[in-house]
Amino acid sequence: MIIRKLFKFENAHIVRGCSTIKCRSSVHGHSYKVELLFESNFLDNGQMVYDFGLMKQNMKDLVESFDHAIALWSGDNVAYLKDMKKHSARWVELPVSPSAEQFSRVIFVMIDRLLGLTSKVNGEKEVKLHSVIVHETDTGYAQCFAEDAYSKEMGEINLFDIIFSEQIMKDFKDERLWQKVLDEEEFVNPASV
């Protein structure tokens, strides 16, 4: 069975190297919709694959870390990166260009790691991240599966190369959330949310 949780955020970026002149040469924004799809052949004690309320914890914080932020590619012009960080309290630096395709891969890798580090306490079994869909516009989206997320041909996504601004980390419910993910610390789902 597959379940889906939808998140939304507003984000600005430049996608260098793309065909569209406006997109590759000007900072612009989108109202993103992100769908996290989970799968399992089992149901928990509440007869659910995974309680949607649990997704409103750390998963929500990670996805919404991009909200009202600028997404930066670490391979962009050094002066541009410095200026964007200087003039925006909320920024995320990525090891890949912030296209919808790469956003779906980045979010997949982040959520997959978090899910793998999370101990379930309500009978959840073999819950896996099926895919991540990132809607950049009403008419266009990218869908990422595990083989895409970890594809070397599409550019390696090392979690240690994802850098969140100080303000974003302060806005997490747990300011150490990202460091815990990087350190592979265990997360324990609450019994009640």
Start-to-end CA span in the chain (Å): 23
Q: Distance between CA atoms of 132 and 143, rounded to whole angstroms?
A: 6
Asked if 23 is an active-site residue, the reply is yes
Q: Distance between CA atoms of 182 and 110, rounded to whole angstroms?
A: 10
Say which of 13, 130, 136, 144 is annotated catalytic: 136
Say which of 35, 39, 64, 68 is annotated catalytic: 68
DSSP string, 150-175: T-STT----GGG-EE-HHHHHHSSST
3-state SS of 140-156 is CEEEECHHHHCCCCCCC
Say which of 10, 23, 101, 135 is annotated catalytic: 23
Asked if 18 is an active-site residue, the reply is no
Asked if 102 and 92 count as a contact pair (C-beta separation under 8 A), the reply is: no
Q: Which residues are catalytic?
A: 23, 68, 136
